[in-house]
């Protein structure tokens, strides 16, 4: 039953509604104008914020502010060749005849350069106990190519070296860094999956889709590094070959490399026979009297607007990096490729990626349709980031080493452990036999 006060209140409200003016046409039009005006001014006021948000979400094209401003605190210990039995063999071969100078060129050069630059780095520490990460130097790709080590020796020597690293055992290898600079990646060490599958691997090879069909690359822990480009092209001031103006370039596109029986490369060679005036694709010789010298190679490379970079034995290709130094737009024809420093570089702004399944006249038609002003813009943006492919000191704001150090810092973890390490209430680490870390005897057992 309602109280009298509630009843009176209800009557009052009913009486009030009865005397409200009706919603006229004028009221409706006025309401619509008010809604439209509110919407307009709200969008106007929010516009700068929306634009700022959109810009902040885009990847940076030039040198990323993080690379310039972020304070690096990572500390890296570099193993000395004399402190571990076998390490000198990984650097100089079984007879000690391989020299760093001999290994600076070719795909294996980055092994030497990274080692040398880390030795000079301000982030290097000589105290194992304070190191965040440990670098294991080796020039095995070069030693193998020059006959200093065979596959069996490489495998045996790596295992011997690792068994003399207590800190490797302590972390299960998680804080140890290895460089494998060629298309073979970590497969140069046949037993990589057993011994260093938790370690940080630096390699240009982010995918393995050839006959082995087994990838040694893990996006969670490993780092893609740039290929090793001819030093004469990366030096500041006067490279050995200067870019040509677009108007003076003879070809629309080129592919300079061996066929190696690979489908994409063979298709490009056939395409060049159909359109020789548009696509330069010579039958290159890499030995003998017809061998193309490095300077000649870059002079050919600079003579096209677009440099085609198909996959070879594996998905990565050095031509992608080389093209930036002759200011030729790289066209990636390798579907599984992984590229370095993708956290800070937007590759869609500095290159083109085309499906390898659509190599044919359609590709040339597409490239031909791109205006020169757009090509110039892509080249200009590429000019901003190509310093990231140069192996120079990590003290420089833009260098391959700065990018690598930045990536390494992100891999550092406060705590490491393995299936064979244990710890007690006082924080001391022990092995399965409860022997404290400081008393471990070499060689330490490995998986």
Same domain assignment for residues 95 and 150? yes
**244, 331: one domain:** yes
pLDDT score of 12 more than 60: no
Token pair 């516009």: residue: 47
Shared domain check, 385 and 273: yes
Answer for the pair 430, 424: CB distance below 8 angstroms, yes or no.
Answer: yes
Whether residue 193 is found in the same domain as residue 139: yes
The answer, yes or no, to whether residue 161 has pLDDT greater than 90, is yes
- Residue keyed to tokens 């330069």: 280
Residues 252 and 365 grouped into a single domain: yes
Q: Do the Cβ atoms of 173 and 195 come closer than 8 Å? A: yes
- Domain shared by 74 and 220, yes or no: yes
Taking the complete model, does pTM exceed 0.85, yes or no?
no
**Are β-strands 352-353 and 76-78 bridged in parallel, bridged antiparallel, or unpaired?**
unpaired
Q: Which residues lie below 8 Å from residue 154, measured CB to CB, with a gap of 6+?
A: 90, 140, 143, 144, 188, 189, 190
Q: Does pLDDT of 67 surpass 90?
A: no
Residue 405 inside a domain? The answer is: no
pLDDT of residue 7: 42
The answer to whether residues 52 and 58 touch, using CB atoms and an 8 Å cutoff, is: no
Structural domain including 312 reads 231-390
148 and 263 fall within a common domain: no
The structural domain count of the chain equals: 2
**Helix%, strand%, coil% for the chain, nearest 5:** 45, 10, 45
Is residue 341 within 8 A of residue 388, CB to CB? The reply is: yes
**Structure confidence by residue, pLDDT tens digits, 164-217:** 999 999 999 999 999 998 878 888 999 999 999 999 999 988 765 545 556 778
- Distances in whole angstroms, Cα of residue 147 to Cα of each of 89, 151, 152: 12, 10, 12
Instruction: List Cα–Cα distances, 270 to 261, 263, 267, 361, 381, in angstroms.
Output: 13, 11, 5, 11, 32
One domain for residues 363 and 236: yes
- Distance of alpha carbon 424 from the chain centroid: 39
Which of 208-212, 244-248, 289-293: highest mean pLDDT? 244-248
CATH code for the domain in which residue 335 is found:
3.40.50.2000
Answer yes or no: do 430 and 382 share one domain: no
Q: What is the pLDDT of residues 304-329, one digit of tens each?
A: 999 999 987 777 888 999 999 999 99
Residues 221 and 235 grouped into a single domain: no
The reply to whether 433 and 382 lie within a common domain is: no
For 253-272, the pLDDT digits (tens) are: 999 888 878 888 999 999 99
Whether 157 and 255 map to the same domain: the answer is no
Assigned domain for 41 exists: no
pLDDT beyond 80 at 69: no
DSSP state of 357: G
* Portion of the chain with pLDDT greater than 70, in percent: 81
Whether residue 384 is contained in a domain is answered as yes
């Amino acid at each position: 039953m309602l109280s009298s006060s509630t009843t009176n209140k209800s009557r009052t409200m009913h009486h009030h509604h009865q005397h409200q003016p009706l919603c006229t046409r004028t009221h409706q039009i006025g309401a619509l104008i008010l809604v439209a005006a509110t919407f307009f001014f709200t969008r106007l006021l929010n516009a700068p914020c929306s634009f700022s948000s959109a810009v902040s979400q885009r990847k940076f094209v030039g040198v990323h502010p993080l690379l310039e401003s972020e304070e690096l605190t990572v500390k890296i210990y570099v193993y000395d060749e004399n402190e571990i039995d076998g390490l000198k063999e990984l650097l100089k071969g079984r007879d000690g005849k391989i020299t760093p100078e001999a290994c600076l060129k070719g795909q294996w050069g980055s092994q030497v350069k990274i080692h040398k630059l880390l030795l000079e780095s301000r982030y290097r520490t000589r105290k194992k106990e304070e190191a965040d990460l440990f670098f294991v130097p080796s020039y095995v790709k070069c030693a193998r190519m020059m006959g200093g080590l065979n596959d069996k020796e490489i495998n045996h020597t790596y295992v011997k070296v690792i068994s003399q690293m207590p800190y490797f055992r302590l972390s299960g290898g998680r804080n140890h860094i290895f460089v494998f600079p060629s298309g073979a990646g970590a497969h140069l060490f046949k037993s990589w999956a057993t011994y260093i599958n938790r370690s940080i691997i630096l390699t240009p090879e982010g995918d393995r889709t050839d006959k082995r069909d087994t990838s040694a690359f893990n996006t969670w822990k490993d780092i893609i590094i740039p290929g090793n480009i001819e030093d004469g092209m990366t030096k500041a001031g006067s490279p050995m070959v200067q870019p040509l103006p677009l108007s003076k370039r003879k070809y629309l596109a080129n592919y300079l490399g061996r066929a190696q029986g690979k489908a994409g490369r063979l298709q490009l060679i056939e395409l060049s026979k159909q359109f020789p005036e548009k696509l330069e694709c010579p039958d290159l010789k890499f030995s003998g009297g017809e061998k193309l010298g490095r300077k000649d190679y870059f002079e050919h490379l600079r003579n096209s607007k677009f440099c085609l970079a198909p996959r070879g034995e594996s998905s990565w290709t050095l031509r992608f990096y080389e093209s930036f130094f002759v200011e030729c737009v790289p066209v990636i024809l390798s579907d599984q490729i992984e590229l370095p420093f993708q956290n800070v570089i937007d590759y869609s702004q500095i290159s083109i990626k085309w499906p390898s399944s659509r190599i044919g006249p359609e590709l040339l038609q597409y490239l031909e349709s791109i205006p020169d002003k757009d090509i110039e813009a892509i080249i200009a943006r590429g000019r901003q980031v190509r310093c990231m492919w140069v192996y120079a000191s990590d003290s420089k704001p833009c260098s391959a080493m700065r990018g690598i150090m930045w990536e390494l810092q992100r891999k550092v973890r406060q705590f490491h452990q393995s299936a064979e390490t244990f710890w007690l209430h006082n924080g001391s680490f022990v092995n399965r036999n409860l022997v404290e870390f400081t008393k471990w005897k070499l060689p330490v057992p490995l998986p």
